[in-house]
Amino acid sequence: QIAEWKKLRELPTVSKDGVHVELAANIGTPNDVAGVLENGGEGVGLYRTEFLYMGRSELPSEEVQFNAYKTVLEKMEGKPVVVRTLDIGGDKELPYLDLPKEMNPFLGFRAVRLCLERTDIFRTQLRALLRASTFGNLRIMFPMIATLDEFRQAKALLTEEKEKLTAEGVKVSDSIQLGIMVEIPSTAVLADHFAKEVDFFSIGTNDLIQYTMAADRMNERVSYLYQPYNPAILRLVKMVIDAAHKEGRWAGMCGEMAGDATAIPLLLGLGLDEFSMSATSILPARSQISRLSKAEMKELAEQALQMQTAEEVVELVRGIGQ
């Protein structure tokens, strides 16, 4: 099996019936890029930039950020790199920001909500990203988008920073794709509207599941409700993918579900274009997908969407292509 994975390292990801999908990796620091390439990643589907902000006593400067983004883009040698803007709050705190304690941090002041208020922090990150954009294939993604207005505000700040840099004579790439994480049910439900304004979606199932099921992803006592295979989740995923395709956009997934061997047949059948996962899951996933027919998985997914419970779905898909 290991020999087969080695061979697959250099190959694209193609289903048994000849459909290409992209397998990318989730990373937290520039040091993770080596593992992505060793495991045959076709890109970075999620660079969680919050680690740049954590474990230090003050905000990272524009220069510190620029260097980190540039390093990742260069090491990926033109392969796509989706950088997610700061997603702090929720379970991830920054002591030096001195934010008040909240009753429900996962429903509170986090990610893009914080960035739209602390525009000083956000603008610094956007400038660093724009300056790094000429060193590779940069895609920018906003986390925790709940409304169209949030997306438009964030995009406007990006456009402003781009214009400022250009006026200063700094070169910025003209082909930066701009997307959002779909991890809040309101955004999945309105995906048809969002698809007219974004270049891509990346479905964040870690949060989408917790918000759809109203079950804290860290709370053991309600973990029985944390159900990736609940047909409600599958229907939301389908809505997002269909909405993207209707507008000629691509849809990826960067939550844990994207690398889960039980979920992969369903996600392939639902038409997911990009799967972003931990680097070590890439070769097993590529091997599994090579044994699956997308046309057959489409039928399987249609059956799953009609089921009543997560257990029935798991029963239907368990072991397929593994």
Q: Min. distance of Cβ 50 from ligand PEP in angstroms?
A: 8
Q: Interface residues for ligand PEP in 64-123 (CB under 6 A)? A: 87
255 binds ligand PEP (CB under 6 A): yes
Residue 261 contacts residue 254 (beta carbons within 8 Å) = no
Q: At what angle do helices 119-132 and 62-75 cross, to 10 degrees?
A: 40
Nearest-angstrom CA–CA distance, 208 and 311: 19
Of 307, 195, 317, the C-alpha closest to 257 is 317
Given the complex with ligand PEP, which of 68 and 320 has the nearer CB atom? Answer: 68
Per CB under 6 A, which region of 14-22, 200-208, 235-243, 260-268 contacts ligand PEP? 200-208
205 binds ligand PEP (CB under 6 A): yes
The string of DSSP letters for 282-322 reads HHHHHHHHHT--HHHHHHHHHHHHT-SSHHHHHHHHTTTT-
Q: What is the DSSP letter of 89?
A: B
256 binds Mg ion (CB under 5 A): no
161 binds ligand PEP (CB under 6 A): no
259 binds ligand PEP (CB under 6 A): no
Residue 84 contacts residue 46 (beta carbons within 8 Å) = yes
Given the complex with Mg ion, which of 182 and 283 has the nearer CB atom? Answer: 182
Given the complex with ligand PEP, which of 204 and 271 has the nearer CB atom? Answer: 204
Q: Interface residues for Mg ion in 183-242 (CB under 5 A)? A: 183, 204, 207
Given the complex with Mg ion, which of 42 and 183 has the nearer CB atom? Answer: 183
Residue 311 contacts residue 262 (beta carbons within 8 Å) = no
Give the contact letters, 123-142, x = binds to ligand PEP (CB under 6 A), - = no: --------------------
207 binds ligand PEP (CB under 6 A): yes
Residues 6 or more apart whose CB falls under 8 angstroms from that of 167 comprise none
Q: Min. distance of Cβ 258 from ligand PEP in angstroms?
A: 9
Given the complex with ligand PEP, which of 172 and 270 has the nearer CB atom? Answer: 270
CA distances from 244 to 14, 44, 193, 237, 279 (A): 21, 20, 10, 11, 26
User: Please, how many CA atoms are within 13 Å of residue 42, restricted to the half-sphere of its CB?
Assistant: 19
User: Position of tokens 């993207």?
Assistant: 244
Which residue from 71, 206, 287, 303 is in contact with ligand PEP, where contact means CB under 6 A?
Answer: 206
72's contact among Mg ion, ligand PEP, none, with CB below 5 to 8 A by partner kind, is none
161 binds Mg ion (CB under 5 A): no
45 binds Mg ion (CB under 5 A): no
Q: What is the binding site for ligand PEP (CB under 6 A)?
A: 46, 48, 87, 183, 204-207, 254-255
